[in-house]
Amino acid sequence: MIHDDDTCPHLVMLGRLEAENARLRSVAEDNKRECEATRIENARLKAEVERLTKDYDTIFKDRALLWASHKIALQDIQRLHYALQTAKEGKDQP
């Protein structure tokens, strides 16, 4: 029996399967590239979150120190104001 490549059902099916296989390989390669791009973006975002967390921790500590120094400065100003008022009242009396 002679097979005509254009009409032999087995060869026609083989051609379709090879074409589908090539398409699926292409889709798989696209998916691999997309996965790699997502992995890289994920790593970048994790690093950014870590950096921002450290920055927040630093800012929070600095804020606490600033607030403590502000309270001390306010107490110093209040003491100075009290001393000035006391001195002024003492001068006003004969």
Split the chain (94 residues) into runs of 10 and give each run's mean pLDDT: 69 91 97 97 96 89 82 86 83 55
> Is there a contact between 32 and 38 (Cβ–Cβ < 8 Å)?
no
Pairwise CA distance, residues 9 & 80, whole Å: 104
> Is there a contact between 11 and 3 (Cβ–Cβ < 8 Å)?
yes
The burial of 76, by beta-carbon neighbours within 10 Å (0-12 exposed, 13-18 middle, 19 or more buried), is given as exposed
Task: Tell me the whole-structure pTM to 2 decimals.
Answer: 0.50
Please tell me the predicted confidence (pLDDT) of residue 66: 82
Q: How many CB atoms lie within 10 A of CB 86?
A: 10
